[in-house]
Amino acid sequence: MLSALVKSKKVIVCCGAGGVGKTTTSAALGLAAARAGRRVLVLTIDPAKRLAQAMGIAENARAPTPISRERLDAAGVTTGSLDAWMLNPDVVFDSLVRRMARSPEQAERIVSSRLFRHLSEMVAGMQEFTAAEALYDLSSSGKYDLVVLDTPPARNALDFLEAPGKLARFLDERIINLFLPGKQRLAIFRKATELIGSVFNKVFGPEFFAEIQEFLGAFGGMFGPMRQHAQGVRDLLSGGDAAFLLVTSPEASALVEARYFRDRILQMGLPFAGFVLNRSWARIDGLVRPEELAVGAEASGDTLSGMLKLGVLAELELKRVKRDQHLLQQLTADLPPRAVAIAAPYLGEAIEDLPGLARLAHGIAGPS
């Protein structure tokens, strides 16, 4: 069970392919931690509409939204708290600039620039950067005991680990200064700056190049702190307070993706906690075979005939149970030390409300 993770970790990152119930599992882990008395935030990318409504996630919210005490009480959360936020890259980066700028005036110069509004389009990986930034900032704020991050359903989902470093390299003073006159001491770099200015003036016009210089000049002094911040993100996610969980399903493509993520996580030296096999029949909690059902001696012929037919269906179900239990054994065999592989209980149709999340939380992390 995952009770130890939700009770002790500061960060849990859920990865996996699309369509395996990763967002629902992230929300259930958050709810399990809240039931254990912790202050929890679930950061998600694109939740299903009904799940977003159940958790009170607004699409354009500028800050995490707390789930009401009344709804938490109904889900078995008596002492903890649970907030949720659908990541908004513009809000996160705006907050970063205002926090790291040397003065409110400098921050205002940056965020009011036309280029700032298009920065997410200019720099590849800006969404991944803001995911890492939000995770680091909110887990370090002291407001939450645990932050659960639901990553995008793609093979580049782990790019958020590298994004802060990539952005810091993009914003390297030695490169940025080539765009700024008067910053170069050596003649060769002054010539390079003049050449860059000449090319940009011809291609984009002097007005646009002056806007670029104004924007980059306003960033002066922020590059060092941003690089230190990038290292802080990496330290947090590679330390003992973090755990990476892979959510998968019995589908062959999902299992391939899960093993790919596992290999990459281990290669990056990150704390791999294990697998959650979702939407499977590996768990047999409460399963009753037809022959175990008591049928009275007075049962009609139709009843006995129906029982025989149910027995055929039960055998088909048991074959699927055996298949999924074999998959779980294979995942267990692939684990490094101290990692676990568990099967989430099969709860039928999609879980899109707090009572359903509470049942899933109980199934993967035990009773509160």
- Please tell me the predicted confidence (pLDDT) of residue 150: 87
Measured between alpha carbons, how far apart are the two ends of the chain, in Å? Answer: 12
Question: pTM of the entire structure?
Answer: 0.78
Q: Which CATH class is domain 3-170+232-285+323-365?
A: alpha beta
Q: Where are the domains of the chain?
A: 3-170+232-285+323-365, 172-218
Q: What are the beta bridge partners of residue 14?
A: 150, 245
- Please tell me the predicted confidence (pLDDT) of residue 186: 46
Is 84 within 8 Å of 42 (Cβ atoms)?
yes
Angstrom distance (rounded) from CA 22 to CA 30? 12
Q: Is the dihedral of CA 207, 212, 213, 218 positive or negative?
A: positive
Is 261 within 8 Å of 328 (Cβ atoms)?
no
Angstrom distance (rounded) from CA 259 to CA 243? 16
Cα angle 94, 97, 98 (rounded to 5 degrees) comes to 85
- Please tell me the predicted confidence (pLDDT) of residue 125: 53
Q: Is the dihedral of CA 112, 118, 120, 123 positive or negative?
A: negative
Is 38 within 8 Å of 30 (Cβ atoms)?
no
Angstrom distance (rounded) from CA 128 to CA 245? 18
For each of the chain's 368 residues, which pLDDT tens digit applies? Answer: 689 999 999 999 998 888 888 888 999 999 999 999 999 999 887 666 767 777 777 777 888 889 988 888 888 888 899 999 887 777 777 777 777 777 788 778 777 776 666 665 555 455 666 777 788 888 888 999 999 998 876 666 676 666 555 655 555 555 555 555 555 444 544 555 555 556 555 555 566 566 666 666 666 666 666 666 677 788 888 889 999 999 999 998 888 888 888 998 898 888 999 999 998 889 887 777 777 777 777 778 888 788 888 888 888 888 999 999 999 999 998 788 889 999 998 887 667 788 888 889 998 988 75
Is 10 within 8 Å of 235 (Cβ atoms)?
no
- Please tell me the predicted confidence (pLDDT) of residue 188: 47
Angstrom distance (rounded) from CA 331 to CA 278? 12
